[in-house]
Amino acid sequence: METESAVLQLTSMGQAFDDALRQRFGAIRLWEDKTLLTSERAAAVAAIVTSVRYGCDQRTIQALPGLRAICSWGAGVDTIAVDLAKSRGIQISNTPDVLDDCVADLAWGLMLAVARDIVSANQYVRNGEWRELGKFPLSTRISGKRLGILGLGRIGAAVAKRAIGFSMEVRYFSRSHHQDSLLAFEPSLLDLAKWSDFLVVACPGGPATKHLVSSAVFEALGPNGILINVARGSVVDLAALINALEQNKLGGAGLDVIEGEPGAPSRLLERRNVVVTPHVGSATRETRLAMERLVIDNLSSFFRTGRVLNPVFQ
Ligand code: NAP
């Protein structure tokens, strides 16, 4: 076990994982003792464990003079005060790679659910309408259509890989042109949206991508276009999305993440061509276990070698 109180856990992440962190590293729990950050014990903290949802703000980092590593559970660092951590030489790790497949699977689940109207079809059967009416409205074909990906990173690439089975042509727009990719690069997000039947958002959140998916993108995607967001709610302008849907300027939306989450506005939920899931991209038993293991591996590596395994920046 590492030295008592060297690890500070900022938020509970489930009984089993909390217990493992305490057993293995003697992790102390901020939610059990809120005075910790202002007490003398703060000086002994070398590593933080947090989740991407809870994050780690400037105030927390400033309160911990001996902090050298932030080990985060989840992908993305938009809730962590990265610039301050960098300036103090504090390493940040997260849990990429192990969750890519599950998030990509969910993106496809949302595509299928929206295009093929699966949620309403299920409700139709449950309501007894199948027996009474016998006719369900036609939906939208996916196979053979055009798939655009915003952000060709780990998750974007995993989404693209799955398109082979659907005989779809795939193009992408990303911060940079990936010369080693076989996929076609579109020079702008608007060009990508104009070309796409389905647009999957898989870039990071944070100020650089805030409302990148705007009314202009919805116009470009068009009345038959379907938007899928498995990245961060902040990337999509929610008010513009609702307007586009209400004015039938967009064909539908599948959202695992949403601005202002948790929760979603009723104007969105009352639309049949919208499917919302509660930020569950990585939420399978197998992947969550792999993410927990990776946090523990990052912490162990940090205490053993001075370096985390999955540094977000070098
Ligand atoms: P990643 O490997 O870092 O990939 C992100 C990609 O986005 C990179 O290819 C990057 O571009 C691109 N990008 C960055 N800034 C951009 C910009 N301004 N415009 C266009 N493209 C930009 O990350 P990942 O592991 O695939 O994860 C992506 C995001 O998914 C995470 O940041 C997280 O917010 C979200 N996520 C959601 C869930 C969920 O439960 N729904 C789970 C995990 C992750 P270049 O490579 O071209 O530089």
Whether the Cβ atoms of residue 227 and residue 253 lie closer than 8 Å to each other: yes
Evaluate: CB of 176 within 6 angstroms of ligand 1.
Answer: yes
Identify the band that residue 4 occupies on the pLDDT scale cut at 50, 70 and 90: very low
Order of strands across the sheet that contains 226-229: 184-185, 169-173, 146-150, 198-201, 226-229, 252-255, 274-276
Domains, the chain, in order of start with CATH, read: 6-96+286-305 (3.40.50.720), 100-276 (3.40.50.720)
Q: Is 232 among the catalytic positions?
A: yes
Which of 105, 175, 235, 255 is the pocket-test mutation for ligand 1 (most atoms within 8 Å of CB)?
A: 175
> What is the Cα–Cα distance from 100 to 107, expressed in whole angstroms?
11
pTM of the complete model beyond 0.85: yes
Task: State pLDDT tens for residues 231-269.
Answer: 999 999 999 999 999 999 999 999 999 999 999 999 999
CB 2 within 8 A of CB 303: yes
Edge-to-edge strand order for the sheet containing 91-93? 28-29, 7-9, 47-51, 69-73, 91-93
Question: CA-CA distance, 311 to 83, in Å (whole number)?
Answer: 14
Catalytic residue list contains 279: yes
In angstroms, what is the span from residue 229 Cα to ligand 1's centroid?
11
For a pLDDT cut of 70, what percent of the chain falls above it?
98
List the catalytic residue out of 169, 261, 267, 293. Answer: 261
281 lines ligand 1 (CB under 6 A): yes
Report whether pLDDT(3) > 60: no
Find the catalytic residue in 68, 154, 171, 279. Answer: 279
| pLDDT beyond 50 at 1 | no
Residues 6+ apart with CB under 8 A from 37: 30, 59, 60, 63, 64
